[in-house]
Each structure stands twice: as structure tokens, then as C-alpha cells.
Structure 1
Amino acid sequence: MPQSTAIEIFVDADACPVKEEVYKVAERHDLAVTLVANQFMRLPRDIVVRFVKVEDGPDVADDYIAEHAHSKAIVITADILLAQRCITQKATVIGTNGKPFTENSIGSAVAMRNLMADLRETGDVAGGPPPFSKADRSRFLSSLHEAIVQLKRIEG
């Protein structure tokens, strides 16, 4: 994949709770947004958002995003394994709860994900992550803005 010269945002859009926030911040910074999903979704009218519909199947959207991630890309996802793949492509990765995934944090995030999956499989733990909150939304907006400012500083 050729290296892009512009900052862009990729959203793992299936079940993403912060799409509206992405649109607002991207519009403010005049950045391209690409939503990737395996089902059609409503797009905003007031900004240009590229939509990529991928085939159904496990990890098809993840594969698309990971293949297109680059050092000036910001990837929005709750998927820890996708985050890991994008970090190896030098992308900036932010969880939908606003917590950034970094080279320093991704190893422990993957380990915790695997541990929790094992515990759920054995029935020792039930349920998934906590519900999305206002604090998560606020943290996400702050993290996305900070990531953009940092990439612009590097760029300029």
C-alpha cells in the first residue's frame, strides 16, 4: 500500500458509538474520514465521508483498515487485535472509549483481551465491557483532537 501524504481517519464503523463525534472533529480540522463496515449506514449530509462496504465475514473490515493504515492515519476501533495490526503500520489508534492504543500499551491490552476471552469461555466471567458513558465520549473527543494536533505538528 503506498504511503498517504495526508492525515486521514479510518473508522471501524460497525457498532461504533462515536461516529458523530468523528464527523464533528474531522470537519473542524478539514480531514478525510473513511467508514468501513459490512453493512450500509446513513452518512452525514454536511461533510464528505467516504464509505467502504466490505463483504460479510470475520475480519473483512479489519483487513481493509489494516491494509490501508499508515503513519498519518488515525484508526478508531474497539477491536484490540485490529488496533495491534494498525500500530504495526505506525497508525495512531484510539479506542471508541477515548483510550489510545500505543506500542507500549498494546501488548498488555492483547494479553488482557485473551485472558478475558478464556475466562468467558470457561464460564468464570460473564458479560463484556462496561456500557459506553458520557465520560468515554468526552475522553474520545479529547483524544481524537490531541491525535490530530500531534500529527499536524509532525507534518508541519
Structure 2
Amino acid sequence: MRNDVLTVYVDADSCPVKEEIGHLCKKYNKKLVFVASYAHEINPSLGAELVTVDSRAEEADLYIVNHCRRGDVVVTQDHGLAGLLLPKGVNVISPRGKIFLEEDMNELLFTRHLGKIQRRAGMKTKGPKKIKNEDILMFYEEFEKILSKLEGV
């Protein structure tokens, strides 16, 4: 795979590791695209292209699905988006450093579905835990492994 072809897309609306992504993309000379709704403020000084989409639900996801190609990397915490990207041969990682794998998607999506059912029934469900420094470090290490592997290092 040619170095200049690979793109890193970030589902950027609530991504807590934008600085880390920017640093590693610069280090590995990868094209970086932040995709966010116009309702969110994103710092374009990270050497990234900023794509602004409508604030309707799933607009950023649709942009990413329609523009990424086999071998690209996507940073997202959205299990549904990950489930759409993996069959396309896209590398998907969460901001906490979890590498999404096709064999895990059925369980992840089922758990997400159960949570939706509980919330619709009026039950409270726990949201994601606050991101910790260990999570950021895990993301940095795993993201760098992906980029170095794609670089052939």
C-alpha cells in the first residue's frame, strides 16, 4: 500500500484523543481527516483536513463510510460505524485503544441493542466511563502499532 494513499478518518465530534492522532499522523506522514458536525468546534491546527457535516444523527458516520477505503484507519467509539467499516477492510480503533475486530461485532452490537431497549423502557444505563490517562496511553500505543504496521516497519 502506498504511503500517500492511506487516510486516517476521525469521528471527531466527541473524540478525546485528537492531539495524539494529529501527532502520530504527522510522525507517519498520513493524511488526517476530522469529520464533525458544524455544531462542534474542532481545532484545525493539528495538520488535519476538517470536514463539516450537518448535525443530524449519523451524518459524520455516513461521510466516513462513503469516503474511506480498504486499508484506511478510522478512530471512532461508535460500534455501529465500526461494524460497517470492518467488512470494507478498514482498520478501526476506539479512542481508548480498543481494536475493533469483525468476530467481536455481533456481541458488541447486541449489547448496544439491549442498552437501547432498556433506555426506551425508562431504565437507566451507564454511559461510558470518563477517559483516563491509561486509556489515552493505550490508544497512543495501539494507534502507533497500526500506523507502523501499515508503514511496513
Normalised TM-score (structure 2): 0.89
Q: 2:44 aligns to what SS in structure 1?
A: coil
Is the CA contact 1:66–1:89 (under 8 Å) kept in the aligned structure 2? no
Which moved further from structure 2: 78-87 or 120-129? 120-129
Q: Please say if 1:48 is aligned against 2:40.
A: no
- Aligned partners of 1:90, 1:5: CA distance in 2, in Å? 18
The one-letter code sitting in structure 1 at the alignment partner of 2:14 is A
Q: Which string of whole-angstrom CA distances, capped at 9 and with x for unpartnered residues, describes residues 12-45 of structure 1?
A: 000110100100111111111000011242212x
The one-letter code sitting in structure 2 at the alignment partner of 1:20 is E
**Shift in Å, 1:124:** 3.9
Is the CA contact 1:5–1:72 (under 8 Å) kept in the aligned structure 2? no
Q: Please say if 1:105 is aligned against 2:104.
A: yes
The one-letter code sitting in structure 2 at the alignment partner of 1:43 is P
Aligned to 1:84: 83
Which moved further from structure 2: 110-119 or 132-141? 110-119
Q: 1:104 aligns to what SS in structure 2?
A: helix
The one-letter code sitting in structure 2 at the alignment partner of 1:120 is R
Aligned to 1:14: 13
Aligned to 1:28: 27
Aligned to 1:72: 71
The one-letter code sitting in structure 2 at the alignment partner of 1:14 is D
Is the CA contact 2:71–2:91 (under 8 Å) kept in the aligned structure 1? yes
Is the CA contact 1:36–1:54 (under 8 Å) kept in the aligned structure 2? yes
Equivalent residue pairs, number: 149
Aligned to 2:147: 148
- Aligned partners of 1:81, 1:116: CA distance in 2, in Å? 13
Q: Which string of whole-angstrom CA distances, capped at 9 and with x for unpartnered residues, describes residues 50-87 of structure 1?
A: 11111221111100001112122100001110111111
Aligned to 2:92: 93
Which residues of structure 1 form unaligned runs of 5+?
Answer: none
Matched ranges for 1:119-130 at <5 A: 119-130=118-129
Identity of aligned residues (%): 26
**Shift in Å, 1:122:** 2.4
**Shift in Å, 1:145:** 0.6
**Shift in Å, 1:5:** 6.4
The one-letter code sitting in structure 2 at the alignment partner of 1:15 is S
Is the CA contact 2:4–2:31 (under 8 Å) kept in the aligned structure 1? no
